[in-house]
Amino acid sequence: MDTKVEIHIRTVYGNTLRYPHNETARLLAKLHNQKTFSPMALSIIRQLGYELELVAEDSEVLNS
């Protein structure tokens, strides 16, 4: 299993949401029955030894 967790950040109605991007991230989100990650969930994932990687933010996608 890949130890890299890829996260995609979006701002929706002023709220910062962290969406899973790769299969490992999707499985971890599914494990706690959520579509997004809270800061606490990401902290715990990091403590478990996973490497977090930011894929792209909304502004970066729109400017491409």
| Beta bridge mates, 19 | 8
Angle, CA 17 vertex, CA 63 and CA 50 arms, to 5°: 100
pLDDT of residue 63: 47
pTM metric for this prediction:
0.80
* Residues 17-62 pLDDT 10s: 999 999 999 999 999 899 999 999 999 999 999 999 999 766 554 4
Give the strand pairing for 4-12 and 15-20: antiparallel
pLDDT of residue 2: 74
pLDDT of residue 56: 77
